[in-house]
Copies of this chain bind each other. A is one copy, B any other.
Amino acid sequence: MATLGKPLLYGYFRSSCTWRVRIALAFKGIEYDQHIVNLIKDGGQQITDEYKWVNPMQQVPALHIDGVTLNQSLAIIEYLEETPPEPPLLPSDPKKRAQVRMICDNIVSGIQPLQNLHVLQKVGEKKLEWAQHFITRGFQALEKILENTAGRFCVGDQVKIADLCLVPQVTNAERFNLDIAPYPTISRINKSLLQLPAFQVSHPSCQPDTPEELRA
């Protein structure tokens, strides 16, 4: 049960979209409770009638916060950005903000939906080749975009929302046996980000529902 006033995150250790939100919560120093939605067990707890009340899209994450329940990771993160705005996850300059959001959307709309669990279930036996195809297509574009925008991280030298989307997507790519060496900018930024505490405490290898054999 959530303590009154503490946000409640509905998520799953391995969900890349949930991980984005966990990084944002850690980065903002927001304490929260977790309700585990096991996407595999019993055919997936996300498709239960009970969970449909939380998120009609039958996906994770969802966040219950300040009396509302939100789904969609970026909408949640933008809310977290607007309510406790420090430390900022968006730059102050509108053009830089736009670049951050563009990179986010290229991952969140352009890559990740195509390797979502319910999509791969529909694809069937060719799912590995399918996922590799769309991640490769997306990373080729992303590498070019990042060549223009990156500093130490995706846009400049500070952690922004784009970075919260990049790392979970790279981890997904690795799960689908993709070599990320052909993307030196993606690779370098990912490596730097994984050193930061907000990315480490939120990592899929150390969540309450991470199975023993996958723990770091």
Contact = CB atoms under 8 A, between A and B. Distances in A.
A28 interface: no
A-side binding surface: helix, strand, loop or mixed? helix
Q: Give the residue among A78, A108, A118 with the most B Cβ atoms within 10 A.
A: A78
A33 to B, nearest CB: 19
A134 B101 CA distance: 25
Contacts of A52: 144
Interface residues of A, number: 49
B133 A72 contact: no
Interface string A60-87: 0000001110111111101100110000
Given A83-B94, A122-B133, A105 B75 contact: yes
A198 interface: no
Given A56-B144, A122-B133, A138-B57, A66 B95 contact: yes
Contacts of A97: 78-79, 82
A141 interface: yes
A74 B138 CA distance: 17
24 contacts: A55-B141, A56-B142, A59-B110, A68-B95, A68-B98, A68-B99, A70-B98, A71-B102, A72-B106, A72-B109, A75-B104, A76-B98, A76-B102, A78-B97, A79-B94, A79-B95, A82-B94, A83-B94, A108-B109, A109-B109, A109-B112, A114-B114, A114-B119, A119-B134
Nearest 3 Cβ contacts at the A-B interface: A72-B105, A56-B141, A75-B101
